[in-house]
Amino acid sequence: MATPNGSSFLPEEDLLSPILGELKRAVREYTTATTEATCPDVRQMFTNLTTDTLSLQGEFFNMMKQQNMYTAGTHALKYDVDKQHKQAQQSVQKTRETINQKTSSMGAYAHNPNVAPHATNVSPTSYM
C-alpha cells in the first residue's frame, strides 16, 4: 500500500520476500502431493505444478537477487556437492533394488499394487 507521497509503508524487499517463501512452500506441498498421489493423472498434475512453481520460484529469486534484495548463502565446495550427489544416487539405487525385489515376489500383480489378487470387475481408480 502506498502512502500519499507515493512511497510504500514497507521496503519492496520486505514485500517480496514472503512471496518467495510462499513459492518455496508451494513447491514442498506439491512435491508431497505428488509422492502421495495414487492416481497417475493426479500424480502428473502435481508433477506439472511442481515443475511450473519451481520455474516461477527460480525466476522470482533471480529477479530479487539482481536487485540486491536477496543474499545467497556461501558457495558449496564441488567436492561436497559431488559427495551428496553420489550418496543420493546410491540411495535411489538401493530403493530401486528393494522395489524390484519386493515386486518380483508379487508375481502377476507386481506392476499394479492397487489391484487385489482376487479382484474382479474393479472400477477405475478414483481421483480422491
Each residue's pLDDT tens digit, 71-90: 777 788 888 899 999 999 99
The mean per-residue pLDDT over the stretch 8-21 comes to 85
42: Cα within 13 Å, side-chain hemisphere:
12
Residue 42 and residue 62: Cα distance in Å, rounded? 30
Contact 67, 20 (CB under 8 A): no
User: For 25-39, 52-66, 72-86, 97-111, which range has the lowest pLDDT when averaged over its residues?
Assistant: 97-111
Domain boundaries, the chain: 7-72, 76-103
C-alpha cell at 92: 535411489
Amino acid identity for residue 65 in this structure: K
Residue 30 and residue 23: Cα distance in Å, rounded? 10
Contact 60, 20 (CB under 8 A): yes
Q: What is the pLDDT of residue 25?
A: 97
